[in-house]
Amino acid sequence: MEDLFRPREHRTRSIATAARAIPWSALACALLALATGCEGLVVSSGSEPACAHSGYVLRTGPDREVPGKPFSLHGGGFVEDVCYDTGQGRPEPPDRNIKIEFRQAGKTWDLATVDARPKTYDFDVKLRVPPDARPGRAVVSAAGELGTPERKLLVLAKAGR
């Protein structure tokens, strides 16, 4: 009720101030939209990507096997460019030439090179534990454009042990 008793000039000034603030608000929103054009924007300090990758998925099956035996590897989230949201109406390109390695005790074996599927950005591949791998812990990795996820694998001396 106090506003009703305020002199008219004060009410007019308040409306004029609000009207001047609207263009600044619109400018601030436009700048914010430009700055966050890429989903998951993070502060970048030079060489880091400006967009955050939501994360890779890497699964093995089984996760323990003897040398020379097959195992499967599933990878997901292998996108070439997470900032590919320019409104061109095209899907983001999948990673290509994903290098899959098996590492154990300072030794590295190149197992395969695969391409992620378009639209789903994943891959499935059958691999073999290197025949000269030793019983113990090992790591399988898949080098994508935005990082190299790893998955632990246990090399057994004999089947089931």
Q: Domain locations in the chain?
A: 2-35, 57-155
Spatial distance between the Cα atoms of 91 and 21, rounded to a whole number of angstroms: 39
CB 63 within 8 A of CB 72: no
pTM exceeds cut of 0.75:
no
Nearest to 76 by CA among 92, 59, 56: 56
Q: Do the bridges between strand 57-61 and strand 70-76 make them parallel or antiparallel, or are there none, so unpaired?
A: antiparallel
CA distance 31 to 33: 5
CA angle 40, 74, 157 (to 5 degrees): 130
pLDDT for res 80 = 80
pLDDT at 131 over 60: yes
pLDDT digits (tens, 9 = 90+) for 58-97: 999 999 999 999 999 999 999 887 665 444 556 788 999 9
CATH architecture of 57-155: Sandwich (2.60)
Map the chain to HEC letters.
Answer: CHHHHCCHHHHHHHHHHHHHHHHHHHHHHHHHHHHCCCCCECCCCCCCCCECCCCCEEEEECCEECCCCEEEEEEECCECCCCCCCCCCCCCCECCCEEEEEEECCEEEEEEEECCCCCCCCEEEEEECCCCCCCEEEEEEEEECCECCEEEEEECCCCCC
Query: Residue 52 above 70 pLDDT?
Result: no
**Which residue from 75, 78, 70 is spatially nearest to 126, judged by alpha carbons?**
70
According to DSSP, the residues that pair with 101 across neighbouring strands are 110, 141
Does residue 119 or residue 152 have the better pLDDT? 152
Are 15 and 37 within 8 A, CB to CB? no
